[in-house]
């Protein structure tokens, strides 16, 4: 589905992350206020120009859990290895894995969203003209808009129900190779996304992951991975421990 920049999407922009991109800690300072105003002016300008805002592909599938793995019942079943929290917690607190939030009869949403190559092109053009401020303004606005659009669709498809949005490479899904599985399910190229050998998405302002609709689902970070789980994870994927460690940032 093709997208336009709407006021509803703009309202989902996470300005804290926007300021983090610019390394601004005091979000009430004059610099931050000017930066936000410039970003909103840019977005408004793009709205008025009907600027191409990329595409989204979102599909829902039956899903089942098998231990710390889940199986997505797409055209061909896709098994995803997941990781469980191990860092010691106070007694009685659970150690989460995303598979804990998959129950019989659940559906899982698989999404890929991009703001399109035009944002990257504009950013590059301004960089080549030595206007780094506008170059970075395009890049940072693109990052926030793609996340805002992902949140917008999350709320739309949940339709008031509770659920979580687990993005590839984020704290609950630290192994970015999962992008290859998402590509297999959705076909990134159909919406203009390509995936490099190192699992970098292009255009840069693209995101993919899962909408988990179970009302019990919670956001969490996997955190530190112990050697026992690392070995189990490698065995489940038919790879060496060193390879698994490399991709998990060990």
CB 91 within 8 A of CB 81: no
Distance of CA 163 to the CA centre of its chain: 15
Amino acid 118: pLDDT = 85
Spatial distance between the Cα atoms of 151 and 26, rounded to a whole number of angstroms: 25
Question: Could you say which residues of the chain have pLDDT below 70?
Answer: 1-4, 250
Q: pLDDT at position 48, please?
A: 83
pLDDT at position 5, please?
76
pLDDT value of residue 3: 65
What's the pLDDT score for residue 250? 62
Domain residue ranges of the chain, discontinuous segments joined by +: 7-247
In words, the CATH class of domain 7-247 is alpha beta
> CA 60 → CA 73, 109, 186, 212, 225, distances in Å?
10, 4, 11, 10, 30
**pLDDT of res. 64:** 96
Q: pLDDT per residue over 192-239, tens digit each?
A: 999 999 999 999 999 999 999 898 999 999 999 999 999 999 999 999
Tell me the whole-structure pTM to 2 decimals.
0.90
What pLDDT score does 2 carry? 58
DSSP 128-194: HTT-HHHHHHHHHHHHHHHHHHHHHHHHHHHTT---EEEETTSTT---TTHHHHHHHHH-GGGGT-E
> Is the separation of the CB atoms in 65 and 99 below 8 Å?
yes
């Amino acid at each position: 589905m093709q997208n336009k920049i709407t006021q509803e999407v703009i309202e989902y922009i996470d300005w804290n992350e926007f300021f983090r991109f610019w390394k601004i800690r005091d979000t009430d300072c004059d610099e931050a206020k000017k930066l936000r105003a410039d970003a909103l002016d840019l977005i408004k300008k793009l709205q008025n120009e009907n600027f191409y805002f990329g595409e989204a592909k979102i599909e829902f599938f039956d899903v089942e859990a098998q231990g710390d793995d889940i199986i997505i019942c797409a055209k061909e079943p896709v098994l995803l290895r997941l990781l469980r929290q191990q860092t010691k917690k106070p007694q009685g607190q659970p150690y989460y894995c995303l598979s804990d939030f998959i129950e019989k009869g659940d559906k899982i949403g698989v999404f890929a969203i991009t703001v399109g190559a035009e944002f990257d092109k504009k950013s590059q053009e301004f960089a080549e003209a030595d206007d780094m401020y506008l170059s970075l303004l395009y890049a940072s606005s693109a990052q926030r808009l793609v996340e805002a659009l992902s949140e917008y669709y999350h709320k739309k498809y949940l339709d008031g129900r509770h659920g979580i949005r687990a993005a590839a490479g984020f704290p609950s899904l630290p192994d970015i190779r999962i992008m290859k599985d998402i590509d297999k399910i959705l076909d990134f190229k159909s919406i203009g996304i390509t995936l490099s050998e190192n699992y970098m998405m292009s255009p840069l302002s693209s995101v993919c992951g899962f909408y988990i609709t179970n009302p019990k689902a919670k956001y969490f970070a996997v955190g530190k991975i112990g050697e026992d789980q690392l070995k189990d994870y490698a065995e489940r994927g038919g790879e060496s421990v060193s390879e698994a460690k490399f991709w998990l940032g060990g």
